[in-house]
Amino acid sequence: MNTRIICHKAVSLTREANKIATVWRSLGHNVVVEDYLTASTNKSYDFELFIGACERYALKRFDVLPNIVFYLTIEGKHNYNDYKPKHPIIAVSKFARDMLIDSGYQVEDVVYHGFDLNWFNISPPNRPRLFGAKRMWLLHKIWTPRQRVDLIVESLKILKQKYNPSISLLDLGKPPLSFYLKGAYPSSTYFLIPYLPDEFIVGSYKASDLYIHLSTSEGFGLTLLEALGCGIPSIYVDAPPMNEILPKSYGYKVPYVYEDWLNIHPYEEFDFKEYIFNPEDAVEVLYSAYEGKNQYVDKSYINNFDMFKLYPKLLEWCKQYVRA
């Protein structure tokens, strides 16, 4: 069958589209991957998949295609529900499903994002511990204002003032959080994320003692599973979808204090749902991670997200819709 995957411009979603294409090609399908800004609506395929954020522009534009399925993520709730796509929606997480339903959309199923398990076995370059510190912690995300970078920075500053731990930061973030920390910790900063080689990213995880992921708003939480698959614990806010996709015994959890809504979308199209935490709580959890022994991480849990198990399910769902 001739199949097209139309993907959102976000780099992480482009990678997911290419993973799906790899799996579907292995099952004998001819698959093309196109960017949603340039994809034509004048040609239809046996079936098509749109993977991306739930944005009205994309829903309206591609809903005219006769055999399309929408595979959507969302981090909050739509303010406008004046358009309902006639084609089916599959969510990337239960959290995204609930937000889509609250926004007035019908969701048929949930299929998690998948991983190529060989990615975790990449032989990384040797990464020496930075500056001889007791612990090396990893910052690895594309941070946006909706994820409350201010709370993360404040937590790390208080930690330094209160306990003065021997920590170095390996900062692969964008923007680099070490800039806001004003030299509070010795750090090594790379500005090219997410375009760093896979060997470098895998090596950074495996060389670190802890992955810091204090984001207050997510649609899935891909990098948390990357850290788990590489065998290192994470610190994260104990809220969905983070605690949905991770085993209960994994990592160090920071409780959230209250839920909030933030609108920074350029067209006020939707509000982001945030789980706000107290920096003082985060400090105590961080210090516990610093003082404690290295936490055992069951890397085999990542097998639940094998793309060669998840994406055939997505394929069968799409084919079932086309047959119907």
pLDDT of residue 322: 74
If one compares 214 and 175, the residue with the highest pLDDT of the two is: 214
State the Cα–Cα distance between residues 65 and 52, nearest whole angstrom.
16
Q: Contact, 130 vs 186, CB < 8 A?
A: yes
The domain limits of the chain are: 2-114+306-323, 119-304
State the Cα–Cα distance between residues 17 and 314, nearest whole angstrom.
12
Q: Which CATH class is domain 119-304?
A: alpha beta
3-state DSSP call for residue 3?
strand
Question: What CATH code would you report for 2-114+306-323?
Answer: 3.40.50.2000
If one compares 51 and 104, the residue with the highest pLDDT of the two is: 51
6-19 pLDDT, tens digit per residue, is: 998 777 788 899 99
DSSP 189-209: E-S-TTSS-HHHHHHHHHH-S
Instruction: Please give the mean pLDDT across all residues of the chain.
Output: 89
State the Cα–Cα distance between residues 91 and 85, nearest whole angstrom.
14
Q: Is the pLDDT of residue 324 over 60?
A: no
pLDDT of residue 193: 52
**Fold matches, 2-114+306-323 and 119-304:** yes
141-197 pLDDT, tens digit per residue, is: 878 777 888 999 999 999 999 999 999 998 888 778 888 887 888 887 765 555 678
φ, ψ of residue 132 to 5 degrees: the values are 65, 20
**CA nearest 51: which of 22, 73, 29, 67?**
73
Q: Contact, 171 vs 154, CB < 8 A?
A: no
216-234 pLDDT, tens digit per residue, is: 999 999 999 999 999 999 9
And the tokens for 97?
Answer: 């499903």
Burial of 74 (0-12, 13-18, 19+ CB in 10 A): buried
